[in-house]
Amino acid sequence: MKRETLTIVGIGYVGLPLACLCGEKGYRTFGISKDKKKVALINQGVSPIKGDARLQQWVSQKSFTAVTGFESVKSSDIVIICVPTPIDEHYNPDLEPVESACKMIAKYMKRGQLIIMESTVNPGVCEEVIIPILEKGSGLTAGKDFYLAHCPERINPGDAYWNVRNIPRCVGGLNKKSLSWAVRFYRSIISGTIRPMKSLKEAEATKIIENSFRDINIAFVNELAKSFEVLGIDLLDVIEGSKTKPFAFMAHYPSCGVGGHCIPVDPYYLIERARKSGFDHKFLKLAREINNSMPRYAVDRLMKALNEIKKPIKGTSIGVLGLAYKADVDDLRESPAVEIVSILKEEGAKVEIFDPYFPKRSTAPSLEEMLRKVDAVILATDHREFKEMNLLNFKKAQIKVVVDGKNCLDSITIAKMGILYRGIGK
Ligand SMILES: NC(=O)c1ccc[n+]([C@@H]2O[C@H](COP(=O)([O-])OP(=O)(O)OC[C@H]3O[C@@H](n4cnc5c(N)ncnc54)[C@H](O)[C@@H]3O)[C@@H](O)[C@H]2O)c1
């Protein structure tokens, strides 16, 4: 069989491991990024994504070629779109990266290709946005001259078990040939089940509901954290109890907020598209509102604890442990920690920051040195370095309040040292 050529448009958290995998599986693979430095690094075998040793090892095998231009689209059998799908400052979906990538692809498209969309989008984007741009720019007709499929990526960066090789996938196609080609392609690279969907729209909807499901359930426990604070109930203990029911309960955990490029973003794509068609997603909007309120809640917990020891937030030095949106990654997108820093500054606190993944944004070179400068801390990211820290360092640095935004520290040990401990829900 002829060795197929692939172009992957966008080589970030999603496109980079996919490009490594396709290259490894024998496809002649090109990965496009607009960033020249990133392209040069990748071609030298260096991953631009820090802190992921497995990905670094994969990139060092140089199984694909990174490029800055779209010329490789011309010689490709399959083109896969992995560009960002963010929201703007008013929480509106921003499809600009998808639109501009499609315009560039259309310039180089030729008859007979399969275009696959992997970026997360609301139901309707493939048919309402992508097809018109590709048809207009190329003069070709979708379904006849070229094929289109959607296979939403589910990768969870930093996950030790689930990865691009083994996560099951759902695939929708514009027509029979689009679907069968895309399913065959994914079966050739992925060991997980490939589930064909009825249509592009159904495939688009799978990913949005997966992440909205997470968002809603997290909002539920975050609301319980606030309620149980008033009622004097330890939510974490309650969740451990509820978890013993062997069916129909799924544990979710409260925290100082929901971050990343997916969960706090994707529901807005559905909310907005449904609104345009006259449907109001009250439940999804409320979940977003509750989760967006959690950084403020964490700071309020801190302020109340400081009040107990007669310290105003204004002028007090507060240390923020972690900036990344989740543990052991160098990703700041939609991070609640960033929001916590700005709320603390608005309140007049003197803010110190330490995140081992962001040395340039940290105000001290080490955790110990940062602790020496502050009176209280908010842990905003459960990096391993924080979870495994020697808690005596809090005492040595004379820390008076610890707000544990991820409930990952030993509350009893901290309290025994005479430090006020506040978790989220405990
Ligand atoms: N990060 C995750 O954990 C994750 C998981 C599953 C799905 N997704 C979805 O996958 C998509 C990509 O996310 P990501 O995290 O990889 O984003 P990213 O920002 O890490 O990477 C996007 C890449 O696209 C490139 N790019 C941006 N605009 C472009 C354009 N117009 N033309 C060509 N390249 C362009 C960027 O340079 C970058 O290399 C999003 O829709 C996201 O929702 C992300």
Give the pLDDT of residue 314: 98
> What are the pLDDT digits (tens) for 95-142?
999 999 999 999 999 999 999 999 999 999 999 999 999 999 999 999
> What are the pLDDT digits (tens) for 61-72?
999 999 999 999
Residue 404 CB partners (closer than 8 Å, separation 6+): 379, 411, 421, 422, 423, 424
**Residue 11 near residue 17, CB atoms below 8 Å:** no
Query: What is the C-alpha to C-alpha distance for residues 161 and 207, in angstroms, rounded to an integer?
Result: 20
Question: What is the pTM assigned to this prediction?
Answer: 0.95
Mutation probe of ligand 1 site: the residue of 7, 14, 207, 269 with most atoms within 8 A of C-beta? 14
Catalytic amino acids? 262
Point out which residues pair with 422 in neighbouring strands.
Answer: 403
Please report which helix (H) or strand (E) contains residue 342, including its range: helix 336-346
Query: What is the C-alpha to C-alpha distance for residues 321 and 332, in angstroms, rounded to an integer?
Result: 14
Give the pLDDT of residue 159: 87
Nearest to 223 by CA among 283, 266, 308, 156: 283
Mutation probe of ligand 1 site: the residue of 8, 13, 265 with most atoms within 8 A of C-beta? 13
Domains and CATH numbers, the chain: 5-197 (3.40.50.720), 204-426 (3.40.50.720)
How open is the CA angle 113-16-98, to the nearest 5 degrees? 55
For ligand 1, atom 15, name the residue with the nearest CA. 13
Gap from CA of 15 to ligand 1 centroid (Å): 7
Alpha-helical regions (H) of 13-141: 15-24, 36-43, 53-60, 96-108, 125, 131-138
Token pair 């939609």 is found at 334
Nearest to 321 by CA among 356, 360, 294: 356
Give whole-number Cα distances, 223 to 141, 291, 294, in Å.
49, 9, 9
Ligand 1 neighbours (beta carbon < 6 A) = 9-15, 32-35, 82-85, 97, 100-101, 119-120, 153-155, 157, 261-262
For ligand 1, atom 24, name the residue with the nearest CA. 10
Average pLDDT of the chain to the nearest whole number: 97
Question: Which ligand 1 atom is at minimum distance from the Cα of 14?
Answer: 16
Gap from CA of 333 to ligand 1 centroid (Å): 11
Ranges assigned E (strand) in 162-216:
169-173, 194-196
Gap from CA of 12 to ligand 1 centroid (Å): 5
Nearest to 371 by CA among 401, 344, 346: 401
For ligand 1, atom 35, name the residue with the nearest CA. 10
Gap from CA of 84 to ligand 1 centroid (Å): 4
Token pair 């502050």 is found at 374
Helix (H, G, I), strand (E, B) or coil at 330: coil
pLDDT over 80 at 229, yes or no = yes
> What are the pLDDT digits (tens) for 143-176?
999 999 999 999 988 888 999 999 999 999 999 9
**Residue 359 near residue 367, CB atoms below 8 Å:** no
Question: Which ligand 1 atom is at minimum distance from the Cα of 104?
Answer: 32
**Residue 118 near residue 83, CB atoms below 8 Å:** no
Gap from CA of 13 to ligand 1 centroid (Å): 7
Mutation probe of ligand 1 site: the residue of 20, 42, 82 with most atoms within 8 A of C-beta? 82
Gap from CA of 109 to ligand 1 centroid (Å): 21
> What are the pLDDT digits (tens) for 310-342?
999 999 999 999 999 999 999 999 999 999 999
For ligand 1, atom 36, name the residue with the nearest CA. 10
For ligand 1, atom 25, name the residue with the nearest CA. 10
Please report which helix (H) or strand (E) contains residue 341, including its range: helix 336-346
For ligand 1, atom 32, name the residue with the nearest CA. 101
